Chains A and B, each alone.
Chain A
Amino acid sequence: MSRINQAIHDIHYLDEMAERDTGLCRIHPLAKVIVTIWYVALTVSFDKYNLTGLAGMCLYPVILMILGELPVRRALVQLRPVLLVVCLVGIANPFFDRNVLFFIAGIPVTGGVVSMLTLVFKALLAITASYLLIATTSIGNICAALRMLHVPKILVTLVMLIYRYIILMLKEAQRVTEAYSLRAPDEKGIRYKVWGTLAGQMLLRSMDRAQAVYESMSLRGFTGEYRLKGMDRDRGKSRWYAVFWCAALAGLRTFPLFEAVGRMLGM
């Protein structure tokens, strides 16, 4: 599948996931946004050698994956490109930090190895949390939550508009590139001689479309604000969801749960 096709497929897939009628999808988006930001902030705040403390944070995505009936494989696929970048940054750590922290079966484990693993683990958890948010909450609802957090109206409207037109533009880009590849089957990408013409034509058509969009929006009464649909969520449950997870995550951040369980088991 081409990159553009994959992107269109991903967007449709996430939309369908967010529209499902599960307990997690019914939680108010503001509660989910606050918990996600809180979780990511706590996760990345762990010390670079605190791998065991960080391990406790994986409870949140594991529980939510099960409750939200989300496929784990799909989440892992999303991680690939980011993990590659994080690994490239972290790969130098074992070479520069050679202090031996502990031994496993007689094999010395250096600080560099632990910090690299911590970095990769943090990336894994943070991306999974973002994925959990978007797979259970539509962009429209996230935008509504952002408005409640007093993010400026113009910015929220802009995000909604971009999201609305992404599929349209992606499909246009797909048509253009497909037409090009049919005429130039041996080319891997777009030849430099037609860089400007190809993307420029697309841009001009986009500008014309923007004019048409504006006119049609004006006819429908657009006055600069994108009206978000009302959220008939269970506010009581959502409030408890936010309070519970914020407290639980703060507890996991301060109390090394996995280490304590290990000690109890006599390890």
Chain B
Amino acid sequence: MHMADALIAPAAAGTMYACSAAAAGISIKKVRLEDDPKKIPAMGVMGAFVFAAQMINFTIPGTGSSGHLCGGVLLTAILGPYAGFLTMIGVLLIQCLLFADGGLLALGCNIWNMAFYGCFIGGFLIWKQMMKNGISRGKIIFASVAACVVTLQLGAFSVTLETLASGVTELPFSVFAAAMQPIHLAIGLVEGAITAAVLLFVYEARPELIWTGEKGLRAGREGRLSFKNTMLALAAAAAVTAGGISLLASAYPDGLEWSIERITGSTELTASGPVHILAEKIQNATALLPDYMFRHTDAAAGTSVSGIVGGAAVILLCVLACYACRFFRKKEKHE
């Protein structure tokens, strides 16, 4: 969809340069406001990636032809619309200079037709709206395909208008549009499918890289599944269960106690031998919370504290056991 210089009149080129410059100005301001020093190198490398990835031919099943990635939508889904737009400008400028893909004078048109629609219309009106209430595989597929189809249709329509406004073709508007729109519908569907496939892979492997439109929501899935957060959530759940719900614990004996009570008439067996007596003495001396209660008290708070302390002890034991397993496994590997 790169327009050559010959297809555009200077007046139309100037107008489109002004429109693209305005969008670029806003984007530069927004990227500067983000004040993220890592962003610029990431934009540079991602621009080079899009450039290289567009050289790879992806076979379209059943047709024998091939398609390419949709750069604008992919960059928006990773970097966000403003940074994505600026990166696309860089890519288009280099394509124009090095490979004569689009002209210097038509650069303003190409930025508008490919970068503006792809990053702003596709990014804000489709991608962001879809991902507003959470991200999922289905949403990624739908948003990618819809964004690519809509933005390519808009881009192709703009090419038609810009060429006709420049007066370089005798084709009537309806004929030109009828030739441009259907072919770009097919291209949009294929590019959308490829973009969706790539974004799905990224979502599965590194979901924190996907831009969802909300500040801080970028790491949505990682936030739920990260080791630190998972451990904190488990600890909190253990504390609530042990400390809070244990207050509601049944006062009746458990299954084993019930069986013993039926046989001996008591829930606890009385020790008879000297070994048993010695063991009981040691247990009574060392137990922090005997029978799930504070020493010498029947307060319910004792049960709660017992639950919390017990939970912490169990978690600590599990963690230690896991680390021990890992240690021995590593040792085995080294051997």
What is A's interface to B at a CB cutoff of 8 Å?
A: 3-4, 7, 10-11, 14, 36-37, 40-41, 43-45, 48, 78-79, 81-82, 85-86, 89-90, 92-93, 95-97, 112, 115, 119-120, 122-123, 126-127, 130-131, 133-134, 139, 142, 152, 154-155, 157-166, 168-170, 172-173, 176-177, 187-192, 195-204, 206-207, 209-211, 213-214, 217-218, 222-224
Contact = CB atoms under 8 A, between A and B. Distances in A.
Nearest to A98: B170
A134 B93 CA distance: 12
Contacts of A222: 37, 41
B42 A207 contact: yes
A60 B185 CA distance: 41
Interface of B: 2, 4-10, 13, 24-25, 28, 31-32, 37-38, 40-49, 51-53, 55-61, 64, 66, 69, 78, 86-87, 89-91, 93-94, 96-101, 103-105, 163, 167-172, 175, 193-194, 196-202, 205-206, 209
8 contacts: A44-B10, A81-B100, A131-B100, A157-B44, A169-B51, A191-B59, A192-B58, A207-B209
A133 to B, nearest CB: 8
Contacts of B105: 37, 40-41, 44, 126
Given A155-B86, A197-B201, A218-B37, A162 B51 contact: yes
Contact of A96 (B10, B24, B172): B172
Contact of B94 (A119, A159, A214): A159
Given A40-B104, A86-B6, A126-B105, A206 B46 contact: yes
A214 B90 CA distance: 18
Contacts of B167: 48
B24 A155 contact: yes
Contact of A155 (B5, B28, B104, B199): B28
B44 A161 contact: yes
A199 B170 contact: no
Given A134-B97, A195-B198, A168 B48 contact: yes
B97 A139 contact: yes
B210 to A, nearest CB: 11
A81 B100 CA distance: 9
Contacts of A7: 55, 99
Contacts of A206: 45-46, 48-49
B44 A165 contact: yes
Contacts of A155: 24, 28, 86, 89-90
A10 B45 contact: no
A158 B115 CA distance: 15
B47 A158 contact: yes
A188 B64 CA distance: 8
Most chain B beta carbons < 10 A, residue from A168, A176, A188, A195? A195
A81 B209 CA distance: 36
Given A7-B99, A44-B8, A177-B56, A166 B172 contact: no
A187 to B, nearest CB: 7
Nearest to A83: B4
A248 to B, nearest CB: 19
Given A139-B94, A198-B56, A202-B53, 20 more contacts: A41-B13, A45-B9, A78-B99, A85-B2, A122-B5, A122-B6, A127-B5, A127-B100, A131-B100, A154-B32, A154-B40, A161-B48, A162-B44, A176-B56, A177-B56, A201-B201, A203-B53, A204-B205, A206-B45, A211-B42
A203 B202 contact: yes
A18 to B, nearest CB: 11
B205 A162 contact: no
A214 B175 CA distance: 50
Nearest to A124: B6
A183 B100 CA distance: 34
Nearest to A14: B98
B92 to A, nearest CB: 10
B45 A92 contact: no
Most buried by B among A95, A200, A201, A224: A200
B26 to A, nearest CB: 12
Query: Which of B52, B58, B168 is most buried by chain A, counting CB atoms within 10 A of its CB?
Result: B52
A211 B51 CA distance: 19
Given A190-B58, A195-B194, A89 B5 contact: no
Contacts of A166: 48, 51-52, 94
A207 B87 CA distance: 14
Contact of B48 (A112, A165, A176): A165
B104 A190 contact: no
